[in-house]
């Protein structure tokens, strides 16, 4: 399921100027395709400002998301991989952002469940972190689906 959503939604950059910008850049493919609104992006940023960097789910990996509240038009996932980590609040370094946008809470949980199976597989995560092209990341996703 993840590989289907990630197709053409992966970006690779050297760096970004701020953690707020990292969320904007990571979410841009979903905005461009019409999956989400600009309000959804702002909600993701506001969540971190209000609740701290809870979206940093494991060292180096953040999963920005927000409540649907009308900001999600169609379920989607996008990914941003940075060569140089960006600093989130509480000095949390992040080099991989996976933006989740689900039309409903059930879809949200399904996406998180699928991502969890990738995050707990050390071999897949090692390859994932060293990958620098979309095709390879899609193949890794397909291996664990």
Query: Which of 2, 29, 65, 77 does the annotation list as catalytic?
Result: 65
- Structure tokens of 119? 């995050």
Pairing type for strands 10-13 and 56-58 reads: unpaired
Among candidate residues 100, 94, 84, the one with its CA nearest the CA of residue 13: 84
Let me know: does 79 contact 115? Beta carbons within 8 Å: no
Let me know: does 135 contact 4? Beta carbons within 8 Å: no
Respond yes or no: is residue 108 known to be catalytic: no
Place of tokens 């959503």: 5
If DSSP codes are grouped into helix, strand and coil, which group holds residue 13? Answer: strand
Active site residues: 65
């Amino acid at each position: 399921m993840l590989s289907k959503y990630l197709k053409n939604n992966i970006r690779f950059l050297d760096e970004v100027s701020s953690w707020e910008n990292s969320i904007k850049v990571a979410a841009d493919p979903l905005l461009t395709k019409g999956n989400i609104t600009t309000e959804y992006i702002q909600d993701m940023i506001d969540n971190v400002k209000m609740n701290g960097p809870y979206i940093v789910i494991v060292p180096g990996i953040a999963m920005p998301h927000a409540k649907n509240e009308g900001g999600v038009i169609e379920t989607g996932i996008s990914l941003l991989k940075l060569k140089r980590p960006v600093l989130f609040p509480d000095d949390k370094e992040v080099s991989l952002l996976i933006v989740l946008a689900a039309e409903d809470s059930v879809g949200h949980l399904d996406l998180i469940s699928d991502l969890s199976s990738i995050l707990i597989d050390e071999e897949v995560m090692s390859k994932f972190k060293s990958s620098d092209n979309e095709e390879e990341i899609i193949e890794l996703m397909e291996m664990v689906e």
